[in-house]
Amino acid sequence: MSNTKVQIFAGSIMVFLLQNFIFGQNYLVGFSKESINPNSTILSSPLAGFGDPKQGRFSISFQEAGIAQNAVAMCSSDTKFYMATSDNKLWQADINAGTPNWVSMGMAYYVTALAYGNGKLYGTDKYNKLWMRNADENDSPWTNIGSAYETTGLTLLNNKLYGTKKNNTLWVRDTSPSNIPWKNIGKANSVRSLTNDGTHLIALSKYDNDLWTRGTSSSNESWSKIGTPNRTTYGSYLSNITYVNNKLYATSNKNKLYYSQHSQSPIYAYASYFEKNSKKALIITLDLCGINYSFSHKVKTEIKNLYNIDEDAILINCSHTHYAPVSQNYSCLQDFYHNPDPKYLDIVKNSVLTATQNAINNKTESNLSFVKGKTNIGYNRADISKDLDNNITMVIAKQSTTNMTNGVILSASTHPVWYNQPRDFVSISSNYVGATRDKLGILKNINNVQLMQGWAGDINPYKTDTPDQTANKLTQDFSNLFALSSSPVTGEITVKLDSIAVPLNNFSFNRAVNIKKANTGKYDQVSERNVRWANNIIHQYTSGTLSKSATIYIQILKIGDWNIVALSREAVSQYAIDLYNHYNPLKLTVLGYSNDVSSYLPVQWHIKKTIPNYEGYESFFIYGQSGIPVNNVEDIILAKIYSMMQ
């Protein structure tokens, strides 16, 4: 072979090797996001993040829809409103006509409640009689079909009439046009009006204007609150309710008609997908306050089955906004916080699956680079003299062919608790986490901005800053990172997920009994919470189910030499400070609120403070925990992380 041919061949080999080296540093990366806002099939959602106020925070709000003059009772079919008025008249109006145009359809004497079903109207009157007539436009006669003593609310569900009485009881009977007896099926306190959504009863209470719901599958089911006046999105003026087409309609003592909707701005499930040499990883961030492990495990299992991503390679992180629907169990708070709505969790799960699929479909060959900086948006609320995690990190994904930025993944330790206006306190939102994503995306013209939550258990934003001001500061700090020199991310994808059982210093049986005694008979929110907690602990002792350790999940996700360390629960700043110091040369991002958020995770100084503080003491009552981690909890967890990082 001639020297020229040898040189050409050698040059080809070098080009080939160089191309393969460059290609070897690339990843297939895809981004996507999907809404996780509750839809119209969910009437109202309690909002997580605060135990106060005692009456709760709910997403339901009411918008004016027209006039309902002198209404004393109301019901609806799929297409019509029916209204009885104080002058003994019966009216109807088309539901889909915008502002309702009420048309007279006869008389309705001394009505106390109305219901519709199967082309018939049912009504009760002040003389304790039950009546029925055709629901047509003609002045059809009413026929007496039985008795209905002191009825305050009436609705028809599954061909049965349900009625509430002044003596705070709930009754049911068939719709048969004969005088058949009513059956008592439980309590219904101070109901002013009754309707249903096709599966559950919905009641409006007389004195406080709260909204309640319960099922009908068995007698004596408990009622759960789904709405309360907050003087901002929901006032103390409702008098009659009816449910149709996924909306609750209400008349008011101001002679107006209202319809319900969620008070909300967008919240999302974000997905970022990474693939290299057949190894895959997925990072999900949810605009939720927290999730239970049972839910994250269920979601990961479905992702694995659908998209063949190993469960250990799926990280689910929560933004910890305090303005999202309840998505985890709070057994010691008010009853409406005890369990999340299964319908809402299905919305979240399906949105995660869709975002995952779209992120995979959107994957492009990309270069990744890492950069780290600082921010100054808050303080250590547990002790202002203590340090806090003020580190921020950013990974930039650029398409290999165009060098255009197609996504950034941010991390910061924030605690989204502040709000601007009273409306914000009772509205679904991602707070300044979402505002930061939006502002940075606009500023840098980037479509995909994902922000992961760090170890913010003892961090609060500055009290002098509004959420928008905090978002502006954080946006600017992330924007400044683009001007710094970033380091290429290189290497293979590796993952680890493990757990550790941290011993607890359990609250004693006698301590629980004494706490119960000290709080029984008091009706403030904290006292009632403490009684619920004490009852739970006493039951655990007597049933032999007391937990003596806390399971902490630790996930190590290495996308090349970008190291992500994710802890479950609400970890405090010191964990992050120690890890960033220990692994200072590494490309490192630390995350809390991942895979399971079932308590705070303090360090020794929180636990041993002379005056018990929230992070190291009171929070465990809110989360319904049986004890506080041992003093050396930080050493135990860090040792496990160090072992897993090897």
Nearest to residue 369, comparing CAs of 562, 622, 102? 562
Residues 6+ apart with CB under 8 A from 31: 270, 271, 272, 273, 359, 362, 397, 406, 407, 447, 448, 450
Low-confidence ranges of the chain (pLDDT < 50): 1-2, 4-24
**Distance, CA of 75 to CA of 195 (rounded, Å):** 8
Integer Cα distance of 576 and 573 in angstroms: 5
Beta carbons within 8 Å of 441's beta carbon, 6+ residues apart:
447, 448, 449
Burial class for 199, CB neighbours closer than 10 Å (0-12, 13-18, 19+):
exposed
* pLDDT at position 9: 40
Q: CA-to-CA distance for 392 and 480, rounded, in angstroms?
A: 11
Q: What is the spatial distance between Cα 579 and Cα 274, in angstroms, rounded to a whole number?
A: 24
Question: 3-state DSSP call for residue 643?
Answer: helix
Per-residue tokens: 599: 């308590």
Q: Select from 610, 545, 603 the least CA-distant residue to 578.
A: 603
CA distance 147 to 179: 7
Contacts of residue 541, defined as CB under 8 A and 6 or more positions apart, other chains included, come to: 509, 512
DSSP state of 246: T
pLDDT for 12 equals 42
At 16-26, the pLDDT tens digits run 334 334 444 69
Distance CA 497, CA 232 (A): 45
Cα(238)–Cα(21) distance, integer angstroms: 69
* Separation between Cα atoms, residue 600 and residue 572, nearest integer Å: 8
Predicted pLDDT of residue 6: 40
For 278-327, write each residue's pLDDT tens digit: 999 999 999 999 999 999 999 999 999 999 999 999 999 999 999 999 99
Q: Looking at residue 237, what is its pLDDT?
A: 87
pLDDT at 610: 87
Read off the tokens for 111. 């009505």
- CA-based nearest residue to 596, from 640, 553, 548, 636: 553
**What DSSP line would sit under 285-300, residue for residue?**
EESSS---HHHHHHHH
448 contacts 407 by C-beta, under 8 angstroms: yes
Give one word for 106, left, alpha or beta, with left for phi > 0 and alpha for psi -120 to 50. Answer: left
Whats the size of the chain, residue-wise?
646
Task: Say if CB 125 and CB 114 are below 8 A apart.
Answer: no
Concatenated DSSP letters of 297-338: HHHHHHHHHHH---GGGEEEEE---TTSB--S--TTS-GGGS
AA identity, residue 69: Q
Contact 57, 47 (CB under 8 A): yes
Q: What is the DSSP letter of 6?
A: H
Tokens of 393: 């990190």
Determine phi and psi for 393, rounding to 5 degrees.
Answer: -130, 155
pLDDT confidence of residue 24: 44
- Distance in angstroms (rounded) separating the CA atoms of residues 348 and 345: 5
Report the C-alpha gap between 476 and 474 in whole angstroms. 5
Give the per-residue pLDDT at 260. 97
Annotate 230-249 with b (16+ C-beta within 10 A) or e (fewer): beebbeeebbbbbbbeebbb
Predicted pLDDT of residue 98:
81
Total-model pTM: 0.94
Selection from 455, 351, 501, 258 nearest residue 37 by Cα: 351
| DSSP states along 533-586 | HHHHHHHHHHHT----EEEEEEEEEEETTEEEEEESSEE-HHHHHHHHHHTTTS
Q: Is the peptide bond before 488 cis (omega within 30 degrees of 0)?
A: no
Question: Domains of the chain by range and CATH?
Answer: 27-39+266-490+565-598 (no CATH), 60-262 (2.120.10.30)
Pairing of strands 587-591, 562-567: parallel
Helix intervals (H) in 404-561: 422-425, 431-444, 467-481, 509-519, 525-543
Q: What is the pLDDT of residue 138?
A: 85
646 has which bridge partners?
A: none
